[in-house]
Structure 1
Amino acid sequence: MKLFIRSILAAAAMGSTMLSAPALAETKLNALFMAQAAYSENDVREMTQRFMKANPDIDVNLEFVPYEGLHDKTVLAQGSGGGYDVVLFDVIWPAGYAENGVLVDVSDRITDAMKSGVLPGAWTTVQNDGKFYGMPWILDTKYLFYNKEMLKQAGIDAPPATWDELNEQAKILKEKGIVEHPIAWSWAQAEAAICDYTTLVSAYDGSFLDSDGKPAFQAGGGLEALQYMASSYNSGLTNPNSKEFLEEDVRNVFQNGEAAFALNWTYMYNLANAGEDSKVAGKVGVVPAPGIEGKSEVSAVNGSMGLGITSTSKNVDAAWNYIVFMTSQEVQDGYAKLSLPIWASSYEKPEVTNGQEELIAAAEKGLAAMYPRPTTPRYQELSAALQVAIQETLLGQTSPEDALNAAAENSGL
């Protein structure tokens, strides 16, 4: 009892959200989620309430943190010998988590029905070295969103199919005075910038690492991607505050009518196109991120996430039951407006497709082209080095070439 009271007090101190639980609950689960993008906090609360109603012997305590704190919060809790039973994790973390024993290997819990029903590409989210460390939950990539009304005013018939066309259209929009800064990006010194950079690396057919696992982004497509970012930023076509923006900043700028183009995740489509606080509702278009002529037709980053069980959990079976419920097709189909389901047959259901046919058409191409960020236990060091390289380049402190060479030296690889 004392332990339970301490858990409540600790959760309150961390700003967690405590869901009311049945009085007879015997098993307590602590779950860590992300407080941005994809499913909303309200969605996760509602899903969890449904789970607890169906499982009155299990009480789930939810905590939400910004994406930027998700990894460290998980690892620090492990070091303290307790904390969470279920955690949300990014596709880039299984290698490091496996090396450090953070998550339980659930390979023997993955059923044949799960393997055949989930989209094949989604499984890469939770795998490392042939083992499964959870269930995929968020299947996502970044898309190019555009303001249909602004393009029509500029006499532009179709959204850009290449990144060069994006610049050309943005220039027309600016010259005609339709919008001062037509493009908004998530280029703050955070993982968001790496996702935009990865999208461009995929467009330029670049590589992060060579066959020996050493940095290869200093040349070829990796260099061209950063050169494009610098050129876009310095052209006056990109919102100058992009160097400080995260995804929510991009969404707010776009839905306030202050940008014609924005790169962002699935969740922005319905919030910007149908949200009560959006000034561009009904005017939002979405297509796969553009390609580069002669190199790619579309570009995409793998931004998927999974749910796993921590190795310190004392309630592995209950935690797995919760994960199976949260990732089930029935639940995902009912909350498909901010995050698309991982289940292949979901895309044949009207409750999933109605009202977001344009988004799903873009997803059909974008999800098939998802480009992975590097799979390495040293990912956090690599990402941090690249974030610095992007910032220093945008600020004009160094050239793209020198910035990426320095990132390679500081990557830990």
Structure 2
Amino acid sequence: MRLKKTAALWATAVLGGLTPMIAQAETTLNALFMAQAAYSEDDIRAMTKGFEEAHPDVKINLEFVPYEGLHDKTVLSQGAGGGYDVVLFDVIWPAEFAQNKVLVDVSDRITDDMKSGVLPGAWTTVQYDGRSYGMPWILDTKYLFYNKDMLAKAGIETPPKTWAELKADAQKIKDAGIVEYPIVWSWAQAEASICDYTTLLSAYGGDFIKDGKPDFQNGGGLEALQYMVDSYKSGLTNPNSKEFLEEDVRNIFQNGDAAFALNWTYMYNLANDPKESKVAGQVGVVAAPGVEGVSDVSAVNGSMGLGIPTTSKHPDEAWAYITYMTSQKVQDEFARLSLPIWKSSYDDPAVTKGQEELITAAQKGLAAMYPRPMTPHYQEMSMALQQGIQEALLGMNSPEDALGAAAENSGL
């Protein structure tokens, strides 16, 4: 039995590009994950069980926190002298984490098969300054979800292709008395609002930073916030959007209280599940709209990766776990709430069956993903922007003044 255990760990080490090793009597890894969106907790527990069955000498202690606590939990664990061996991290953090040596540089562990098999855009999730700080795991952007039945009742034959069309369609639905607030967003003073704002900024052709200085207060960045404010003031947007996160958006939409919603991949199958949703079977999804003469679609890079904190005492076992969790076999098996990072997965009927509409939207959306700025000062910039967006929505400041103040306080 001992030989089988050693052989299994040896095989994983070779596949993951590690120096082969022999596991000690029982190694426990502490892994930090997110308790919202993308893979469910049940999915992650099932994946982890598969790893533990293949590696009886390694046990995984799972911890789930809301997205809003993920960054600080990871950083604070460094000062506490460790704590985690594997952490989930957002695409916006590698610059900060690299500068502060929070994550292990795993560039030398990335195999040729990984490099060639993973979608090129997915690698941007874990890279900074030419180095890799983990493996991409969640490949995601925000899509426009719509209620097919509501659109049909309003005489709307196809989902909107531009943000202007979305506003016009929402007005038709509201005027017909189909639903009071046709649009719902996640505009709470949190990173969720930045993701919605980024989607619109990409549509309007804006820039976060130009020549090393903030530029979101100009051009497309200003137009993006103006669209948000206009939608909010028009009565087309659910007024509680200013307090909503993504799960709130999902609940409103699948309860039949909105015709349109911007949200991540995971909402598609949940909102189409009769056990979860009142609108199952009526849920459509397309890439987020564009702006006439500027863009065809819009998208934010909302991907996430798995990395090893520099304080981990078990980096080899941690890498074995990461390579298992991000492997094509595992990702294809759990492709209902998060789409795989592997190119060939999209040719597999087992992955695409039943979610062809989502895959079609993903082919457009994932190709257009717009990055939030890769800067060590991202957290400071994001918080300043979150505050500016809230002030503009609440009428405390004009979009121009709100973004101007955010630029001054961005730390850039």
Equivalent residue runs for 1:33-112 within 5 Å? 33-112=33-112
Please state how far the C-alpha of 1:163 moved relative to its aligned partner: 0.1
Could you give the per-residue CA deviations for residues 346-374 of structure 1, whole angstroms, max 9, x where no partner exists? 00111100000000000000000000001
Aligned to 1:169: 169
Aligned to 2:179: 179
Equivalent residue runs for 1:371-386 within 5 Å? 371-386=370-385
Aligned to 1:202: 202
- Distance in 2 of aligned mates of 1:73 and 1:98: 17
Aligned to 2:278: 279
Give TM-score scaled by structure 1 length.
0.94
Could you give the per-residue CA deviations for residues 115-149 of structure 1, whole angstroms, max 9, x where no partner exists? 00000000000000000000000000000000000
Q: 1:408 aligned to 2:407? A: yes
- Distance in 1 of aligned mates of 2:175 and 2:113: 55
The code of the aligned residue for 2:237 comes to T
Aligned to 1:117: 117
Please state how far the C-alpha of 1:26 moved relative to its aligned partner: 1.1
Q: 1:338 aligned to 2:368? A: no
Please state how far the C-alpha of 1:277 moved relative to its aligned partner: 2.2
Could you give the per-residue CA deviations for residues 27-53 of structure 1, whole angstroms, max 9, x where no partner exists? 110000000000000000000011000
- Distance in 2 of aligned mates of 1:119 and 1:83: 31
Residues 25/41 of structure 1: CA separation in 2 closer, same or farther (3 Å cut): farther
Q: 1:355 aligned to 2:387? A: no
Aligned to 1:214: 213
- Distance in 2 of aligned mates of 1:310 and 1:127: 15
Could you give the per-residue CA deviations for residues 313-356 of structure 1, whole angstroms, max 9, x where no partner exists? 01000000000000000000000000000000000111100000
SS at match of 1:231: helix
Q: 1:319 aligned to 2:318? A: yes
- Distance in 1 of aligned mates of 2:138 and 2:89: 10
SS at match of 1:274: coil
The code of the aligned residue for 1:292 comes to V
- Conserved? CA contact 1:25–1:56, under 8 Å: no
The code of the aligned residue for 2:155 comes to G
Residues 37/25 of structure 1: CA separation in 2 closer, same or farther (3 Å cut): farther
Moved >4 Å (runs of 4+): none
Equivalent residue runs for 1:140-289 within 5 Å? 140-211=140-211, 213-289=212-288
Structure 1 unmatched runs, 5+: 1-23
Could you give the per-residue CA deviations for residues 77-98 of structure 1, whole angstroms, max 9, x where no partner exists? 0111111000000000000000
- Distance in 2 of aligned mates of 1:241 and 1:25: 53
- Conserved? CA contact 1:25–1:59, under 8 Å: no
Aligned to 2:133: 133
- Distance in 2 of aligned mates of 1:356 and 1:304: 20
SS at match of 2:161: coil
Residues 335/25 of structure 1: CA separation in 2 closer, same or farther (3 Å cut): farther
Aligned to 2:364: 365
- Distance in 2 of aligned mates of 1:317 and 1:245: 40
Please state how far the C-alpha of 1:275 moved relative to its aligned partner: 4.4
- Distance in 2 of aligned mates of 1:321 and 1:371: 31
- Distance in 2 of aligned mates of 1:404 and 1:25: 56
- Distance in 2 of aligned mates of 1:169 and 1:411: 36
- Distance in 2 of aligned mates of 1:138 and 1:159: 27
The code of the aligned residue for 2:81 comes to G
SS at match of 1:125: coil
- Distance in 1 of aligned mates of 2:45 and 2:247: 20
The code of the aligned residue for 1:352 comes to V
The code of the aligned residue for 1:350 comes to P
- Distance in 1 of aligned mates of 2:132 and 2:266: 26
The code of the aligned residue for 2:210 comes to D
Give TM-score scaled by structure 2 length.
0.94
Q: Identity over the aligned pairs, expressed in percent?
A: 76
Residues 275/76 of structure 1: CA separation in 2 closer, same or farther (3 Å cut): farther
- Distance in 1 of aligned mates of 2:193 and 2:351: 30
Could you give the per-residue CA deviations for residues 370-390 of structure 1, whole angstroms, max 9, x where no partner exists? 000011000000000000000
- Conserved? CA contact 1:136–1:342, under 8 Å: yes
The code of the aligned residue for 2:375 comes to T
Please state how far the C-alpha of 1:25 moved relative to its aligned partner: 5.6
- Distance in 2 of aligned mates of 1:31 and 1:351: 29
The code of the aligned residue for 2:355 comes to Q
C-alpha RMSD of the superposition: 0.7
Aligned to 2:4: none
Aligned to 2:19: none
- Distance in 2 of aligned mates of 1:291 and 1:405: 25
- Distance in 2 of aligned mates of 1:392 and 1:326: 41
Question: How many equivalent residue pairs?
Answer: 389
- Distance in 1 of aligned mates of 2:25 and 2:241: 47
Aligned to 1:298: 297
